[in-house]
Amino acid sequence: MLSWDQTPSLGPMRCCRAWVEVDLDALHHNVQQFRRHLGDPTQLMAVVKADAYGHGAVMIAQAALEAGASWLGVATVPEGIELRTAGVQAPILVMGAVNSPEEMRAMARWQLRPTLVTPKQALVFSETLAPLHLAHPLEVHLKLDTGMSRLGFPAAEVVDFVQCVSPLPHLTIGGLYSHLATADSPDPTTMIQQQQRFQAAVAQLQTQNLLPPRLHLANTAATLADPALHYDMVRVGLGIYGLYPAPHLQGVLALKPVMQVKARITLLKDLPAGTGVSYGHAYVTDRPLRMAVVGIGYADGVPRILSNRMNVMIKGQLAPQIGTITMDQLMVDVTHIADLQEGDVVTLLGQDGPHRITADDWANLTQSISWEILCGFKHRLPRIATESSCHGVKPTVIGQIPPP
């Protein structure tokens, strides 16, 4: 991986105050790890909803397809259109439910595969598509509720559901799926129960010769937990970004974190003992202290609740964050780090020398989950791709580029 300063194309970005670095080598590695873990007939859907969990959807989608994923999963219609507009041609499943005719027409126009969760929705869909005179019926995936109690039709009534949808002229059933609520738990009881409901639905359809061509059930955790959950396709989000859904699933594959979050020191100053720092003076120096102001804050995605509780990394050393984290800036105690200058790079998430701070560390400190930490980074931070070899993906810089 190229370091920031060795990357010539990033020249204009040198004055940037903060950014997200996206390691496409790591992404490639993770996708290939999953690819090898799956049997040959099992397809890998890269889940790139929420701007690819904050990493940048287009660049991640292209890199994941290049590395062996064959489907993409998004949550919303605009997320799917963003990929199509960028030239992505792979099948895209929209996993959220769509009810408005405008969105239904857009899905047909952009060849996005909808998730259907009720027979009524299917009927409206088919009627909405009728005047479009599509060359081919739109491929839809039916979703069953097997115990997540979110989107999905009751699994026990699957035959009714399929029998309502299959005669509709403008739709064709391309898949049947469900979503697991507890796949990351060390106790598999509920997951097995959900799988049994899914399996029972499949068996009912089989006896009536109604089985859709593609079955899928597993998220990252289930993909790692049990190959019996893989079916025809797995829907992997978190894992391709190099994080594990739970500690007990860490041994299965060797994943590498894709995201690093970095910012620059914008000001260094020496404070005497007894000085209050930042809003509310929640930190008061108890000794003379050298402090760095860093150009990143909660509006960029650093949770404010980490105030006075997190470390950052500077020149391979840990440095404690001090005082309340503000909207655009935060302060760090750098008394123990020699030879610092304004403009030096601060790593908030990532690796620096012997130290590594991950989204899991922040999730533990904030009682959140790594999914929420990753997709919390806002568009004010440019996404910068780094890679040692070009995997056929043109590195994209997303966000405003300040003048050199």
Residues with catalytic annotation?
49, 279
Of 80, 147, 245, 382, the one binding ligand PLP (CB under 6 A) is: 245
The rounded distance, in Å, linking the Cα atoms of 165 and 348 is 50
Nearer to ligand PLP, 73 or 395 (CB): 73
Contact 395, 63 (CB under 8 A): no
Nearer to ligand PLP, 44 or 122 (CB): 44
Q: Which is nearer to ligand PLP, 202 or 313 (CB)?
A: 202
Instruction: Establish if 238 lies at the interface with ligand PLP (CB under 6 A).
Output: yes
- Written as six digits, the tokens of 169 are 């002229």
Check residue 219 for interaction with ligand PLP (CB under 6 A). yes
Mask: binding to ligand PLP, 92-131, rule CB under 6 A, as x and -? ---x------------------------------------
Site string for ligand PLP, 40-69 (x = CB under 6 A): -------x-x--------------------
CB 86 → ligand PLP: shortest distance, Å?
21
Say whether residue 195 binds ligand PLP (CB under 6 A).
no
Question: Least Å distance between CB 156 and ligand PLP?
Answer: 20
Q: CB of residue 98 vs ligand PLP: minimum separation in angstroms?
A: 14
Tell me the number of residues near ligand PLP by CB under 6 A: 13
Give the separation between CA 41 and CA 13, rounded to whole angstroms.
43
When binding is defined by CB under 6 A, the residue of 236, 249, 292, 349 that contacts ligand PLP is: 236
Angle formed at CA 57 by CA 56 and CA 61, multiple of 5 degrees: 125
Q: Does 27 bind ligand PLP (CB under 6 A)?
A: no
Question: Least CB distance from residue 77 to ligand PLP, whole Å?
Answer: 15
Interface mask toward ligand PLP for 127-166; x: CB under 6 A: ----------------------------------------
In 3-state terms the chain splits into helix, strand, coil percentages (rounded to 5) of 35, 25, 40
Total Cβ atoms within 10 A of residue 88? 18
DSSP H helical ranges for 110-243: 119-129, 158-165, 189-207, 220-225
Please say whether the beta carbons of 399 and 16 come within 8 A: no
CA dist 384 and 40 (Å) reads 33
Nearer to ligand PLP, 127 or 232 (CB): 232
Dihedral pair phi/psi, residue 45, rounded to 5°? -95, 125
The least distance separating ligand PLP from the CB of residue 366, rounded to whole angstroms, comes to 18
**Number of Cβ atoms within 10 Å of the Cβ of 148:** 16
In the complex, the smallest distance separating the C-beta of residue 280 from ligand PLP, rounded to whole angstroms, is 36
Calculate the CA dihedral of residues 259, 260, 261, 263 and round it to 10 degrees: -150
The C-alpha angle 228, 241, 217, rounded to 5 degrees, equals 25
Locate tokens 């960029």: which residue? 300
Distance, in Å, from the CA atom of 240 to the CA atom of 67, rounded to the nearest integer, reads 11
Give the binding range for ligand PLP (CB under 6 A) out of 194-202, 231-239, 295-303, 317-325: 231-239
Range in contact with ligand PLP (rule: CB under 6 A) among 235-243, 247-255, 324-332, 372-380 = 235-243
**Distance between CA atoms of 17 and 328, rounded to whole angstroms?**
10
Q: Is 38 in the site for ligand PLP (CB under 6 A)?
A: no
Q: Output the smallest distance, CB 324 to ligand PLP, in A.
A: 32
Reduce the DSSP state of residue 18 to 3 states and report it.
strand
CB 48 within 8 A of CB 61: yes
Place of tokens 């004055």: 15
Residues in contact with ligand PLP by the rule CB under 6 A? 47, 49, 95, 179, 219-221, 235-239, 245
